[in-house]
């Protein structure tokens, strides 16, 4: 059997509140609608989608390990990752991505550089293949497409 090539979309804390939490910052798209949008983009590119959200750092690390193993097995191209507030605090997520050599495109719905100063630093950006900020949920589509293009090189 030929393995299905997939893409992971991982979402960190409070992204389950999309559509209701600060819509003036994050928009009105819900997490389930975001998953549909990502699934449409993945399908367009012939990819299987694995979509997760967790408020727990350890669960995100487990999914990063899983995604990294699937990349090594030729079953995935990498992960689109919105770490939420863990972006600015989690060396553990940084180490998990670095340790698994997982290709990651970091995504943020809002432009974190136009927000509070503590949001300007990311522990993920230095090890990400790319970063998309401030383009709303469309950033996820762009990130899936970018990972796909990188996988073809």
- C-alpha to C-alpha distance for 38 and 45, rounded to whole angstroms: 11
Q: pLDDT of 27-53, one tens digit each?
A: 789 999 999 999 999 999 999 999 999
- C-alpha to C-alpha distance for 72 and 101, rounded to whole angstroms: 9
pTM for the model stands at: 0.93
132 marked ligand binding residue: no
Domains of the chain: which residue ranges? 6-151
pLDDT band at 3; cut points 50, 70, 90: low
Helix/strand/coil (H, E, C) string of 78-109? Answer: EEEEECHHHHHCCHHHHHHHHHHCCCEEEEEC
88 marked ligand binding residue: yes
SS3 breakdown of the chain: % helix, strand, coil, rounded to 5? 50, 20, 30
Q: pLDDT of 60-110, one tens digit each?
A: 999 999 999 999 999 999 999 999 999 999 999 999 999 999 999 999 998
11 marked ligand binding residue: no
Question: What pLDDT shows up at residue 136?
Answer: 95
Give the helix/strand (H/E) hosting 74: none
Pick the CATH number of 6-151 from 3.30.70.940, 3.40.50.9100, 1.20.1250.20, 2.120.10.30: 3.40.50.9100
Active-site positions? 26, 108
């Amino acid at each position: 059997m030929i393995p299905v090539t997939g893409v992971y979309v991982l979402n960190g804390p409070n992204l389950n509140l999309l559509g209701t939490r600060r819509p003036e910052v994050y928009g009105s798209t819900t997490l389930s609608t975001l998953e549909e949008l990502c699934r449409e983009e993945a399908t367009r590119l012939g990819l299987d989608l694995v979509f997760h959200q967790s408020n727990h750092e350890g669960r995100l690390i487990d999914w990063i390990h899983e995604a990294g193993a699937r990349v090594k097995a030729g079953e995935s191209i990498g992960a689109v990752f919105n770490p939420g507030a863990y972006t600015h605090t989690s060396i553990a997520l940084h180490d998990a991505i670095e340790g698994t050599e997982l290709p990651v495109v970091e995504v943020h719905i809002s432009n974190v550089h136009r927000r509070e100063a503590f949001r300007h630093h990311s522990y993920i950006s230095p090890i990400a293949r790319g970063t998309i900020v401030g383009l709303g949920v469309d950033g996820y589509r762009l990130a899936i497409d970018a990972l796909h293009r990188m996988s073809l090189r």
